[in-house]
Amino acid sequence: MSSATSTRRRAPRLRTATAVALAGVVLAGCGSAASGASPAPAAATSTDATTSAAPAATGPAGEAVVAVAVTDAGGCVATPDTVPAGAVTFNVTNVDAVGVSEVELLSDQRIRGERENLAPGFDATFTATLDGGSYELYCPGASTDRTPFTVTGEAAVSSGDTAALLQQATVDYADYIDSQVGFLTEAVAALQTAIDAGDLTAAQNAYAAARPYYERIEPVAESFGDLDPAIDLRIGDVGDPAAWTGFHPIEQLLFEGGTTVGAEKLAATLVTDIGELQSRTAELSANTRADAADGDRYLVDEVANGAVALLGEVQASKITGEEEFYSKIDLLDFQANVEGSLQAFAALKPALNEIDPALVTDVGTRFDTLLALLDTHRDPAAVGGFTLYDDLTDAQITELSNALSTVIEPLSVVPSKIATA
């Protein structure tokens, strides 16, 4: 794998903003700072058909099955609510909860498995391999939206072994990337369908639905120096406008041009490129889970730097309203970058808790504050679900920027903490 920085064709302006962070996202060819211990893999694996990149769960025999009923009256109820460690399949049914459309399995802010598109009357399934500990089932929008869930038995990674915890962080991050790329694959397929059908409203909504999955994994996507420019370049960064591909020329047609005509080929190319992204991330994940000595894999320092890089992305292009120039859905990208950063940080948390627990608390609190501020800008009526960028006041932009800086400051310490652990 070549160095990402040497092949990146993103405009210098952006590269300057993120170069330092991205240097850590380079996918090294071999070796691992955390390869000393080789704990049993504990993969959170989506069984969603489209996330075929994820390998089968490798838990002990006798997979546990948990029924999760989502009702308006009872919230999000798991039966049983305690299972032994290992592979666990969650069969989720939204019985009648109008406000609920997704469910997540959380472990200390970390998403261990999730499914979206869960309307009343519909079912969904996901599987995760879980260590002993306390979890939460989170059904946003339910009358009772958080339900405790307990896994008993030995944790696969013994606490206190920082190196092992750091290795586990890369596996957990790989799982997260795989789930997001899986959802992204579905979302761009829906975008292509809407464009091919000539349905402008559906295409605009599908565009907004797809963006967050890409924005959450941006540091990883950017590490593929040929793919990222094909997928996410803006017009100002393209030498030859005729060679402009990816999300943003589609955005221009849909939102500025007010048409789907001419976007068909672009959508097909995007689907192909995302497919390539999925196969490459799947390979990275497989190598990471195997703790392979050979082949590209996620490294713990790139996870840490990625968390910072994502917030750098926000500072560089979302808070300025540049990223979504035509659709004005910059706050949606903003929120997705923050979520992606939070998930990278959360993957590191078990190790960071050994290294510097006060830092974990500090960063976690500041993330909460930032996410709460973003929530105040939600607008269900707007495409993408957030106030359009042009409707923000200068004071609101400043407030968001300040809240962002508040997180970046302590988060930027994390890579060095890990490097010296």
Using CB under 8 A, which residues numbered 86 to 115 contact other proteins? Answer: 93-99, 101
Please state the closest distance from residue 2 (CB atom) to other proteins, in A: 39
Q: Using the minimum distance from each CB to other proteins, give the nearer residue, 354 or 399.
A: 399
What is the distance between the alpha carbons of residues 105 and 81, in angstroms, rounded to a whole number? Answer: 12
Instruction: Choose the stretch contacting other proteins; rule: CB under 8 A; options: 200-208, 218-226, 236-244, 273-281.
Output: 200-208
**Can you tell me which of 73, 235, 268, 419 binds other proteins, judged by CB under 8 A?**
73
Size of the site for other proteins (CB under 8 A): 37
Determine, following the binding rule CB under 8 A, whether residue 194 of this chain makes contact with other proteins.
Answer: yes
Q: Using the minimum distance from each CB to other proteins, give the nearer residue, 71 or 335.
A: 71
Determine, following the binding rule CB under 8 A, whether residue 67 of this chain makes contact with other proteins.
Answer: no
Q: Using the minimum distance from each CB to other proteins, give the nearer residue, 58 or 205.
A: 205
Q: Using the minimum distance from each CB to other proteins, give the nearer residue, 81 or 102.
A: 102
Please state the closest distance from residue 374 (CB atom) to other proteins, in A: 10
Determine, following the binding rule CB under 8 A, whether residue 391 of this chain makes contact with other proteins.
Answer: no
Determine, following the binding rule CB under 8 A, whether residue 376 of this chain makes contact with other proteins.
Answer: yes
Handedness of CA 113, 116, 120, 125 (dihedral sign): negative
- Which residues on neighbouring strands pair with residue 68, listed in sequence order? 78, 92
Q: Using the minimum distance from each CB to other proteins, give the nearer residue, 97 or 254.
A: 97
Please state the closest distance from residue 387 (CB atom) to other proteins, in A: 12
Determine, following the binding rule CB under 8 A, whether residue 275 of this chain makes contact with other proteins.
Answer: no
**Can you tell me which of 199, 237, 264, 362 binds other proteins, judged by CB under 8 A?**
199
What is the distance between the alpha carbons of residues 113 and 335, in angstroms, rounded to a whole number? Answer: 19
Using CB under 8 A, which residues numbered 123 to 142 contact other proteins? Answer: 141-142
Q: Using the minimum distance from each CB to other proteins, give the nearer residue, 369 or 376.
A: 376
Please state the closest distance from residue 77 (CB atom) to other proteins, in A: 14
Please state the closest distance from residue 94 (CB atom) to other proteins, in A: 8
Q: Using the minimum distance from each CB to other proteins, give the nearer residue, 141 or 153.
A: 141
3-state SS, the chain, equals CCCHHHHCCCCHHHHHHHHHHHHCCCCCCCCCCCCCCCCCCCCEECCCCCCCCCCCCCCCCCCEEEEEEEECCCEEEEECCEEECEEEEEEEEECCCCCCCCEEEEECCEEEEEECCCCCCEEEEEEEEECCEEEEEECCCCCCCEEEEEEECCCCCCCCCHHHHHHHHHHHHHHHHHHHHHHHHHHHHHHHHHHHCCCHHHHHHHHHHHHHHHHHCHHHHHCCCCHHHHHHCCHHHCCCHHHCCCHHHHHHHHHHHCCCCCCHHHHHHHHHHHHHHHHHHHHHHHHHHCCCCCCCCCCHHHHHHHHHHHHHHHHHHHCCCCCCCCCCCHHHHHHHHHHHHHHHHHHHHHHHHHHCHHHHHHHHHHHHHHHHHHHCCECCCCHHHECCHHHCCHHHHHHHHHHHHHHHHHHCCHHHHHHCC
Please state the closest distance from residue 123 (CB atom) to other proteins, in A: 9
Is 47:128 a contact under the CB 8 Å cutoff? no
Instruction: Choose the stretch contacting other proteins; rule: CB under 8 A; options: 14-22, 65-73, 293-301, 317-325.
Output: 65-73
Instruction: Choose the stretch contacting other proteins; rule: CB under 8 A; options: 69-77, 261-269, 328-336, 406-414.
Output: 69-77
Instruction: Choose the stretch contacting other proteins; rule: CB under 8 A; options: 152-160, 192-200, 273-281, 317-325.
Output: 192-200
Would you tell me which residues interact with other proteins (CB under 8 A)?
71-73, 75, 93-99, 101, 117, 119-122, 141-145, 190, 193-194, 197, 199, 201-202, 205, 372, 375-376, 378-381
